[in-house]
């Protein structure tokens, strides 16, 4: 009986200790993470642009704005893009955008059979977007160039 009493008291002591410890713990704040679309939906300034790894020069004044409505991608607009730093060929100055099914691509001119264009997302966070795509030379279609643009929030 003494053994039972000691075991019971020991169990009660341990239980009390755990209760006090747990009651003083703060419950982790539950943060509703933003969807990738919500993270990307804002104004972005171009910070670097390369063509086949060669810097294309000044990126001042070149911006991309991505918008969302009800947590769904909606409109986009490119401003300030001109030679040599151009928007991807076929991409209009403004239109609609979406993320690809695996969030590894961004699609411009969604649903436009002629101008829909898919770019690879190298980085896509609240702090940075890096896109990459390949384009054929207008004069010599067998020659392909690889473009890489990096954006930061405005």
Task: Please state the rounded mean pLDDT for residues 24-31.
Answer: 45
Residue 35 has pLDDT above 90, yes or no: no
| pLDDT tens track for 41-57 | 999 999 999 999 999 99
Mean pLDDT of the chain: 83
User: Pairing state of beta strands 63-69 and 94-99?
Assistant: unpaired
Residue 44 — φ and ψ, nearest 5°? -130, 140
Q: Between the CA atoms of 63, 68, 69 and 75, what dihedral angle is there, to the nearest 10 degrees?
A: 50
Under the banding of pLDDT at 50, 70 and 90, the label for residue 23 is very low
CA Rg, the chain, in Å?
27
pLDDT the model gives residue 3: 54
| CB 37, CB 68: distance < 8 Å | yes
Residue 18 scores a pLDDT above 60: no
Give the model's pLDDT for residue 86. Answer: 84
Per domain, the residue ranges of the chain are: 36-153
Task: Tell me the CATH number for domain 36-153.
Answer: 2.40.128.540
Alpha-carbon gap, residue 148 to 94, rounded angstroms: 20
pLDDT in tens, 108-134: 999 998 889 999 999 999 999 999 999
Do 49 and 78 form a contact (C-beta atoms < 8 A)? no
Phi-psi region of 14 (alpha: psi -120 to 50; beta: other; left: phi over 0): alpha
How sure is the predictor about 135, in pLDDT bands with cuts at 50, 70 and 90?
very high
Local structure of 106: helix, strand or coil: strand
- What would the mean pLDDT of 3-7 be, rounded to a whole number? 55
């Amino acid at each position: 009986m003494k053994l039972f009493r000691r075991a019971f008291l020991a169990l009660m002591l341990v239980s009390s200790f755990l209760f006090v410890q747990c009651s003083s713990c703060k419950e982790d704040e539950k943060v509703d993470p933003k969807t990738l679309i919500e993270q990307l939906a804002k104004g972005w300034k171009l910070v670097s642009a390369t063509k086949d790894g060669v810097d294309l020069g000044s990126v001042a004044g070149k911006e991309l704005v991505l918008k969302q409505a009800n947590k769904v991608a909606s409109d986009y607009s490119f401003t300030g893009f001109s030679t040599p730093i151009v928007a991807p060929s076929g991409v209009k100055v403004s239109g609609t955008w979406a993320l690809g099914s695996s969030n590894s691509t961004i699609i411009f001119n969604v649903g436009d059979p002629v101008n829909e264009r898919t770019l690879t997302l190298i980085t896509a966070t609240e702090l940075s977007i890096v896109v990459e795509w390949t384009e054929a030379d207008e004069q010599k279609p067998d020659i392909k160039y690889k473009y890489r643009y990096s954006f930061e929030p405005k």
